[in-house]
Structure 1
Amino acid sequence: MHPIQAVIFDFDGTILDTETHEFRRWQALYRDHNRELPLQEWQRGIGTWDAFDPWAGLPDHVQQNRQAVHAQLLETIHADIQAADLRPGVRNVLDAIRPAGLRLALATSSDRTWVTRWLEQHDLLRHFETLATRDDVTRVKPDPELYTLAVHRLGLKPHQCLAVEDSLNGATAAAAAGLHVVVVPNDVTRTQAFLPEWGRVDGYEGGLESLLATVRV
């Protein structure tokens, strides 16, 4: 019997790569005003909340018109995400989890409205036994609270669960909660300093088996 009984996925950047779309639109906004948005700075805010303020690097006149600029920016980001597909291979992984006798949950620093919108659009919500979102906790990733909650709702022990993450903040949270961790980075997280003891695969093409194979027992 495999030691893993449940897989707990992150959402943004892991299932649907919302993060790359968001970064590219903010990067374009910076360039419109002759500024550069360093990826390393942006990465501090991936997978968490309020760790990086992108407005701080923009000119005063942009910040003075912040509400209108932000509304237009969000409109373009949401349009990009609306037109985007899931990360390649992730649907096959999610489809394979229950037939493999495993359980499935979600742990995300995003709010419930955001994740259910996109999960429903891609007909994925039905796969998840429980969703742990930032509406449910006082501290988001890299704090372990979201993963601790998801594991508790499943009625399992942390070592029986595999967390699938794309970011340093997310992987740090899962490891702190005592879960096994596999990182599947995307274009904006690929260069982050993931710890060598965490599993890593560069995509979902190897299916569920490639994720489970990273677990060290």
Structure 2
Amino acid sequence: MIKALIFDFDGTIIDTETAWYNVFKDAYAQYGVELSLATYAKCLGTNLQTFNPYTYLVTHHHIQLDVEAFQTSIQQRHAQWMETETLRPGILTLLQQAKEAGLKIGLASSSSRQWIDVYMDRLGIRHYFDCFCSADTVTNVKPDPELYLQALEQLGIEADEAMAIEDSPNGAQAAVAAGLYTVVIPNEITKQLPFNTKHHTVTALEQYTIHDLLAT
């Protein structure tokens, strides 16, 4: 019996990922470099250790640039893009219905708590969550299962009592490795990527009630 939902954040609750990719892709193009989605996807849902888009032009293309200034420019462009971005369709209804059904709700994100808090406050959804697990609270982020295992512990439930809501291959891999039934709601970017773990895909979350989702 499912007693809790554990959500990923970036790309799942709010689509920050499409903005990041488009901003980086446009910036790379200014240097004559095409940033493929396959390359960029290495950092989706995880940290920048596998692929760091801020330094890649220097380390792999040997382009001379001020990395700090480049990073500042990218972050400013992303912030501008995100000014009009809001919750993904169906997320608010799912949070409301999950609470009404008596389910616990957790967050398991590879992002920092500071980053998450900015959007939690802006979107007004902090009160729905019973625990927050982020890059600050674990040693290993996704695709390692540590974030999900920590969330399970904080919620006081077993893996077979929770459902993960994810959007990326790295996130789905982490949730499945932790033993959770995993529902993937891909966004504009991640719907183009291959998923190698067992999961259930929901392409239009707004068409599902909490009861529909629990029955998948």
Which band: TM-score by shorter chain? over 0.9
Q: Which residue of 2 aligns with 1:52?
A: 51
Alpha-carbon distance between aligned partners in 1 of 2:177 and 2:163, rounded to the nearest angstrom:
13
Cα deviation digits, residues 17-69 of structure 1 (max 9, x gap): 0000000000001111111000011111100012212232465444x311112
Instruction: Give runs of aligned pairs for residues 65-214 of structure 1, distance below 5 A.
Output: 65-195=66-196, 197-207=198-208, 208-214=210-216
Cα deviation digits, residues 142-181 of structure 1 (max 9, x gap): 0000000000001100100000000010010011111110
Alpha-carbon distance between aligned partners in 2 of 1:211 and 1:52, rounded to the nearest angstrom:
34
Alpha-carbon distance between aligned partners in 2 of 1:211 and 1:21, rounded to the nearest angstrom:
28
- 1:132 deviation in Å? 0.4
- 1:106 deviation in Å? 0.3
Alpha-carbon distance between aligned partners in 2 of 1:82 and 1:145, rounded to the nearest angstrom:
32
Instruction: Provide the identity percentage.
Output: 36
Q: Which residue of 2 aligns with 1:4?
A: 2
Alpha-carbon distance between aligned partners in 1 of 2:194 and 2:179, rounded to the nearest angstrom:
19
- 1:83 deviation in Å? 2.1
Alpha-carbon distance between aligned partners in 2 of 1:67 and 1:211, rounded to the nearest angstrom:
44
Q: Which residue of 1 aligns with 2:28?
A: 30
Flag structure 2 segments of 5+ consecutive residues without an equivalent.
none
- 1:198 deviation in Å? 0.8
TM-score (norm 1): 0.92
SS, match of residue 107 in structure 2: strand
- 1:196 deviation in Å? 6.5
More divergent stretch after superposition (159-168 vs 191-200): 191-200
Q: Give the CA RMSD over aligned residues.
A: 1.4
SS, match of residue 101 in structure 1: coil
SS, match of residue 20 in structure 2: helix
More divergent stretch after superposition (24-33 vs 197-206): 197-206
Q: Which residue of 1 aligns with 2:12?
A: 14
Asked if the contact 1:14–1:165 (Cα under 8 Å) also holds between the matched residues in 2, the reply is: yes
The residue type paired with residue 170 of structure 1 is: G
TM-score (norm 2): 0.93
For these two proteins, the number of residue pairs brought into alignment is 211
Alpha-carbon distance between aligned partners in 1 of 2:215 and 2:195, rounded to the nearest angstrom:
18
SS, match of residue 83 in structure 2: helix
Asked if the contact 1:108–1:134 (Cα under 8 Å) also holds between the matched residues in 2, the reply is: yes
